[in-house]
């Protein structure tokens, strides 16, 4: 199972990132665990300065925008 964390302060882009990952995982039949982190200290702890950010299995894989579908699919298939 892939473990995702979406880092952000509750903006609409952060919510859209969570929705996109959940929707695409469901379409592909991939089991995921997803957690939304809004605590600034935890976000800074990942070294992230621009949100939304995506963490996959404790590795920051994306920052600063809503990831494209192709990126999400690649994460889910890797």
Strand partners, 53: 7, 63
Would residue 2 show up in a list of annotated catalytic residues for this protein? no
Which strands make up the sheet holding 53-56, listed edge to edge?
32-37, 2-7, 53-56, 59-63
Element (H, E) at 59: strand 59-63
| Annotated catalytic residue within 6, 14, 24, 53 | 14
Residue of 11, 40, 44, 49 marked catalytic: 11
Is 14 part of the annotated catalytic residue set? yes
- In the 8-state DSSP scheme, what is residue 8? -
Residue 77 DSSP SS3: helix
Q: Which residues are catalytic?
A: 11, 14
């Amino acid at each position: 199972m892939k473990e995702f964390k979406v880092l952000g302060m509750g903006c609409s882009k952060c919510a859209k990132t969570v929705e996109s990952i959940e929707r695409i995982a469901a379409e592909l039949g991939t089991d995921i665990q997803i957690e939304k982190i809004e605590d600034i200290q935890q976000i800074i702890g990942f070294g992230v300065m621009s949100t939304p950010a995506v963490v996959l299995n404790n590795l920051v894989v994306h920052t600063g925008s809503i990831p494209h579908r192709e990126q999400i699919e690649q994460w889910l298939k890797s």
